[in-house]
Amino acid sequence: MRRPIIAGNWKMNMTREEAENLILDLIPKVVDAECDVVICPPACFLETAGRLIKKTNIRLGCQNVHWADKGAFTGEISAAMLKSLNVEYAIIGHSERRQYFGETDELVNSKVIKALQNGITPIICVGESLDQRRAGETDEWVRSQVRGALKGLSAFEVQSLVIAYEPIWAIGTGVTATSEQAGETIGVIRTAVKELFDEFTADKIRIQYGGSMNPGNAKELMSMPGIDGGLIGGASLKADDFAAVVLYSK
């Protein structure tokens, strides 16, 4: 049995005071969660968030990580720096990073490797555009992204990873893939992992859905046998909404 994981990606939102208030409001609401709960605030609030969630069931994640150990990379943050802040998860290859900052599959792979070397669990994002879906290219596109992200990794390393399927056309648009669409593409991702490694590894890896999951559709999406959680955007910015997703089974 794979334990579900619900992660909140705050993106570039919140002031420090707003972040503190959100976390303090969220803590008692998710104390009885039957899944792993992760929050991924902006980097400047990681230390604050880590302090507030200490001794709770909420885990700390980040939204990005650099591929180098250190060096002249102004504005970047290394995996070792993140680990020193008790970061446990790192979102890698989000479609917005790929679109706005030119991240390639090769760069995503290097970041995944660096996160693993520092004991941080990658949440690897893959997904297609609306044009690609309409052209029938979804399956091959996500397969290629999976192959690129997992290049050079061992089966043991892959078993501990999280992959988030995020159809780009459903991110922040209010449009959600149907549970059947999400389940089918996540099945393609799991099959790709099986082809690269083995059935045991494919059965172990957790795969989230990451396209506008919210309190209204979380239960239906999570009812699909291959969906192991959600990477939540807008709904993670309100404690009640995020808690409702986390507690989808109640």
Active-site annotation, residues? 94, 166
SS3 233: coil
Of the candidates 142, 216, 136, 145, the one whose C-alpha atom is nearest the C-alpha of residue 175 is: 216
Helices assigned H by DSSP within the chain:
16-29, 46-53, 79-84, 95-101, 105-117, 130-134, 138-149, 155-159, 179-196, 199-204, 218-222, 239-246
Q: Quote the tokens at residue 67.
A: 């591929």
To which residue do tokens 């102004």 refer?
74
